[in-house]
Amino acid sequence: MADDKKFAGFICTGCGIGDRLDAGQLEAVAKREGKMATCQQHEMLCSKDGVQLIRNAIDTDGATHIMIAACSRRAKVEAFNFTDVAMSRANLREGVIWARPNTDENQETTQDMADDYIRMACAEVKFMTKPHASGEQALNKTILVVGGGVTGMTAALETAAAGFSVHLVEKTGALGGWAAKWHKRIPTRAAADGVLNGTNVDLPMPMDNDVDAMIAAVQGSDKITVHLNSTITKTSGAPGRFSADITTESGSTATENFGAIIQASGWKAFDASGLTYLGSANADVVTNVELEALAKAAGDGPIKRPSDGKEVKSVVFVQNAGQNSKEEGHLPYHSGIGDLVAIKQAMYFKAQNGKDCDTTILFDNLRTPGAAGEDFYRSGQQQMVIFSKGKVNEVTSAGNGASVSFKDQILDEDVKLDADLVVLDLGMVPNSGPNPYAVTDELEKLPFQERDKHKAEVEAKIASVTIESILNLDYRQGTDLPHLVNGFTDSHFICFPYETRRSGIYAAGPVRRPMDIKQAQDDATGAAMKAIQAAVNAGQGSAAHPRVGDLSFPSFRKEGCTQCKRCTVECPFGAINEDEQRYPQFNESRCRRCGTCMGACPVRVISFENYSIDTVGQQIKNVDMPDEFSEKPRILVLACENDAYPALDQAAMSGQEISPWARIIPVRCLGSVSLSWVTDAMNSGYDGIVMMGCQRGADYQCHFVRGSTMAAERMMKVGDTLQTLNLEPERVIVHEVAITDIERAPRLIKEMEEVVEKVGMSPFKF
């Protein structure tokens, strides 16, 4: 190794480590086999004195590479935050002593595990370099918000309140979006606690619409520049240095630079024209959107039906119209807030048309999410709104007005109800741009061997649908943000809200999932904070979610590159283009540091300063490999650091036993796994390999989108390699593991142990 590298090891004996393990032996392994120049023990390495011990080795003794053997790398990250050196960590607490029963017969194998994790951590740090920022950008404190509805305005106001400037682009001639058209709002609070004669006296009621005040606040802010009648005609660059062309309706264009982008393009109303069986052609059958216009036009006066202007004396709300249905042209999902909207609108009639106005809500599955929730439903009951569980079969004309035929699911009777007005609960359709992965998503629904056969057919089908672009990105992958199912902009709302597959661009509001005004405001606030974080991180040259603060970025050895384009194509975030000579051209600011490009590269020329083919490969090779007669198999576990590795840590914390034969290496993503690690491990004598990634498919939970999918596809090719080595294909397996699988994850390793017992030890053991 280079002379300017100085290695120092540190072993913690606290948290029971010193009681269960021979720390002296660990120290000897670190010095003798791990080649640490020094190695010191401490009874609590994360304490002030322990941290100072490490700091002294760096500042006084000149250590450039340190190995810390203590708890999991997921623990004590603030205490062990030494950004000025290269650092590896050996997991002796969760990974060894908490994962193994404290019995005499387990002592030897427990010590063996600890010794190996010391060897692995020492080997890892030897092939690391302290990460350095790319230096390709500076802090840009201006954020672009696309969409001037409640979501966009909230994002703009929250961003401005944090001291950042905002350009707010709205396609129409006015701010406010849909919410500006609403008569009143769904309440944002539950009932108060006051009770009188068993009746709550302060149930939530529809709220006054405060959108005008929000518009005034946006227009009055000196940090917000509003662009009306404008669209984004081109977006290029990366976090910290986005460039966007803002073009007005008249055709003039201004180019502005931004640190991050928020897409708040909102939603479109479902087209009711296809719901002919619900009387959509009848003037007195209106949508919930159209009713808001009728109520707002009425002011405080009675709402009148469209056909003849007569005051409405009876109204029926048909819920879930064309939603949650498998029928052609219907929405396959439920928008979730339609029942709250119906309760709010039913109260319009009670307040404006008199309490004697017959108001019925026909529902099949009543949903009242949010703060008001159940109390808002109770408020409707107190206002004498009738709630009836029924399946509507048909809405027909009845002179002026309409007649609703439905099956009463409580009384099990067919009922016909005449009304002056019928209101259809229509769903929310996301206002997304074209999905750049539409063809890929459709093909992945087919068996692997059928995809090439149907590719041209799928491409023609997708091309026939014209969708207007929102951002007009210049990414090679496409012009807009990718979608989840049903066209909502890609952002898994459980695992990583607001995150999209385009670094520094965040989605918020109903373009992400159906939501009401309050939910959209909360969503916009979160997206604004994410955008600010992205701009600041970009200014520092560090990564965004989920490896926030990581300064490393991919580089490649040009002379070894075969220009195969696999890294370019497989990058989930559009972070790699090609130069004039067709070599990879990395965009460090877009990079999420997942390592997918590294795993894709067949000639192993791509690496990061702190994560490479060697940092993992050397860990694999430096495990002590018992011979075939010792009856001590070795199982390599490559575990995703975002889900599987935390699940194994939690398993150990909860007392779950982990196989003594397992040697677990956290990887950034299964997409980063190189086939060379598999072949090297099998050649080194490992008896089995277990890969643990995140859930894949339409409801994926992979923080890097397609890691598990790509790993599974790559592993299809491993079978041939194993056959040439005369090894059974069941020795290598890929599993999808959630962070909550604290019982299942150890069991999967145990299952591989049973496979090894069945097929026998590897013939490649020395």
Got the DSSP string for 451-478? HHHHHHHHHHHHHTS----SS-B-BTTB
> Do the Cβ atoms of 275 and 266 come closer than 8 Å?
no
Q: Which letter does DSSP use for residue 399 in this model?
A: S
- Interval 309-336 mean pLDDT: 93
- Interval 350-361 mean pLDDT: 96
Q: How many CB atoms lie within 10 A of CB 727?
A: 21
Give residue 1's pLDDT: 43
The long-range contacts involving 381-387, CB below 8 angstroms and separated by at least 24 positions, are: 382/199, 382/203, 383/346, 383/347, 383/350, 383/355, 384/350, 384/355, 384/359, 385/343, 385/346, 385/347, 385/350, 385/359, 385/360, 385/361, 386/358, 386/359, 386/360, 386/361, 387/360, 387/361, 387/363
Distance CA 596, CA 710 (A): 9
Domain with CATH 3.50.50.60 in the chain: 142-197+208-266+468-540, 270-428
CATH architecture of the domain 544-609 equals 2-Layer Sandwich (3.30)
CA 224 to chain centre: 29
Confidence of residue 499 (pLDDT cuts 50, 70, 90): confident
Assign 32 to helix, strand or coil.
helix
Got the DSSP string for 66-112? EEEEES-TTSSTTTT--TTSEEEEEE-IIIIITTS---GGGHHHHHH
Give the chain's mean pLDDT: 92
Name, in order, each residue with C-beta under 8 angstroms of 113's C-beta and a sequence gap of 6 or more: 95, 96, 100, 660, 663
User: Does residue 490 register a pLDDT over 90?
Assistant: no
> Do the Cβ atoms of 692 and 149 come closer than 8 Å?
no
CATH topology of domain 625-766: Rossmann fold (3.40.50)
Give residue 3's pLDDT: 59
Q: How many CB atoms lie within 10 A of CB 742?
A: 19
Assign 122 to helix, strand or coil.
helix
Give residue 226's pLDDT: 98
* Interval 225-278: pLDDT, tens: 999 999 999 999 999 999 999 999 999 999 999 999 999 999 999 998 889 999
User: Does residue 104 register a pLDDT over 80?
Assistant: yes
Token couple for 164: 């950042």
Q: How many CB atoms lie within 10 A of CB 217?
A: 15
648-667 burial, b at 16+ Cβ within 10 Å, e below that, comes to bbbbbeeebbbbbbbbbbbb
> Do the Cβ atoms of 593 and 553 come closer than 8 Å?
yes
* Interval 719-742: pLDDT, tens: 777 877 788 999 999 999 999 999
Entry field: residues in the chain = 766
Distance CA 373, CA 223 (A): 36
Give residue 248's pLDDT: 97
Look-up: residue for tokens 């404008």? 230
- Interval 125-144 mean pLDDT: 89
Phi-psi region of 631 (alpha: psi -120 to 50; beta: other; left: phi over 0): left
Angle formed by the axes of helices 211-220 and 150-161, nearest 10°: 40
- Interval 678-687 mean pLDDT: 94
Token couple for 197: 């004669």
User: Does residue 495 register a pLDDT over 80?
Assistant: no
* Interval 10-68: pLDDT, tens: 999 999 999 999 999 999 999 999 999 999 999 999 999 999 999 999 999 999 999 99
Name, in order, each residue with C-beta under 8 angstroms of 511's C-beta and a sequence gap of 6 or more: 147, 151, 263, 264, 265, 266, 267, 430, 431, 432, 488, 489
Look-up: residue for tokens 């980063």? 672
Give the least confident one: 99-108, 197-206, 426-435: 197-206
User: Does residue 197 register a pLDDT over 60?
Assistant: no
> Would you say the C-alpha torsion 434, 440, 441, 443 has a positive or negative sign?
positive
Confidence of residue 194 (pLDDT cuts 50, 70, 90): very low
Distance CA 678, CA 192 (A): 61
* Interval 602-621: pLDDT, tens: 999 999 999 999 999 999 99
Token couple for 156: 């703009």
> Do the Cβ atoms of 291 and 342 come closer than 8 Å?
no
Give residue 196's pLDDT: 41
* Interval 411-422: pLDDT, tens: 999 999 999 999
AA letter at 301: G
Token couple for 220: 């009055």
AA letter at 197: N
CATH of domain 142-197+208-266+468-540: 3.50.50.60
Backbone angles phi, psi at 13, to 5 degrees: -110, 5
- Interval 99-115 mean pLDDT: 96
Give residue 641's pLDDT: 96
Name, in order, each residue with C-beta under 8 angstroms of 325's C-beta and a sequence gap of 6 or more: 331, 332
Confidence of residue 193 (pLDDT cuts 50, 70, 90): low
Give residue 109's pLDDT: 96
Give residue 663's pLDDT: 98
AA letter at 23: A
Say what the alpha-carbon torsion angle 527, 529, 530, 536 is, to the nearest 10 degrees.
150
Backbone angles phi, psi at 232, to 5 degrees: -95, 115
* Interval 362-402: pLDDT, tens: 999 899 988 888 999 999 999 999 999 999 999 998 788 99
Give residue 494's pLDDT: 67
Domain with CATH 3.30.70.20 in the chain: 544-609
Confidence of residue 127 (pLDDT cuts 50, 70, 90): very high
For strand 242-248 and strand 230-236, is the pairing parallel, antiparallel, or unpaired? antiparallel
Helix ranges (DSSP H) in 197-332:
211-220, 288-298
> Do the Cβ atoms of 273 and 280 come closer than 8 Å?
yes
> Do the Cβ atoms of 421 and 286 come closer than 8 Å?
yes
pLDDT-above-70 percentage for the chain: 98
- 1-130: CATH, from 3.40.220, 1.10.3470, 3.40.50, 1.50.10: 3.40.50
Give residue 4's pLDDT: 86
Name, in order, each residue with C-beta under 8 angstroms of 336's C-beta and a sequence gap of 6 or more: 367, 369, 514, 515
CATH of domain 270-428: 3.50.50.60
Domain with CATH 3.40.50 in the chain: 1-130, 625-766
- Interval 162-188 mean pLDDT: 97
